[in-house]
């Protein structure tokens, strides 16, 4: 295996990258997700008529919990001490936008934690609303921004498809 693949050793086995020699720095990441929902289901959510309760609040808490468990879900992710996680869910015309933000002071970034938070929040909305709309679509899960570490800042150029 070429040495350029950081998550493989010389014999081609998957490995966790050793970050012990890297300095601890402030690192942040933001991620986005979208779930397309029928207008009827959106109206029920807006008027708090969902039979399972408020999916936006439950999704927010689920996203926060998921960020904290990312290393349990993604095999080669490092367990991180997160210093802040936030998830916001906003009703828009055709569905719900999910935005997550994660912060740590550590040797590796929090992009996967932010993406996991946005993804799990969207999945939670699906779970809580599936009785009203089984045709929901989770789309546009992507990294919005990351700051810190050796590679510096990344900011996605807006290229939404809807």
Instruction: Please give the Cα distance from 73 to 115 (Å, whole number).
Output: 12
Whether 127 is a known active-site residue: answer: yes
Instruction: Please give the Cα distance from 34 to 18 (Å, whole number).
Output: 34
Residue with tokens 């399972």: 52
Choose the catalytic residue: 9, 18, 127, 133. 127
If phi > 0 it is left, if psi is from -120 to 50 it is alpha, else beta; for residue 141 that is beta
- Burial of 65 by CB count in 10 Å (0-12 exposed, 13-18 middle, 19+ buried)? middle
Residues catalogued as catalytic: 127
């Amino acid at each position: 295996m070429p040495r350029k693949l950081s998550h493989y050793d010389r014999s081609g086995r998957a490995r966790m990258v050793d970050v012990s020699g890297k300095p601890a720095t402030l690192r942040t990441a933001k991620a986005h997700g979208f779930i397309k929902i029928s207008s009827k289901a959106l109206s029920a959510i807006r008027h708090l008529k969902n039979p399972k309760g408020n999916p936006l609040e439950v999704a927010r808490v689920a996203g926060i919990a998921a960020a904290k468990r990312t290393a349990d879900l993604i095999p080669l992710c490092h367990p991180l001490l997160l210093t802040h996680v936030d998830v916001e869910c906003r009703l828009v015309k055709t569905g719900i936008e999910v935005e997550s933000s994660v912060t740590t002071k550590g040797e590796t970034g929090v992009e996967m934690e932010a993406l996991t938070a946005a993804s799990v929040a969207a999945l939670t909305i699906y779970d809580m609303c599936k009785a009203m709309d089984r045709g929901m679509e989770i789309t546009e899960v992507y990294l919005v921004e990351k700051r810190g570490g050796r590679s510096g800042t990344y900011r996605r150029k807006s290229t939404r498809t809807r």
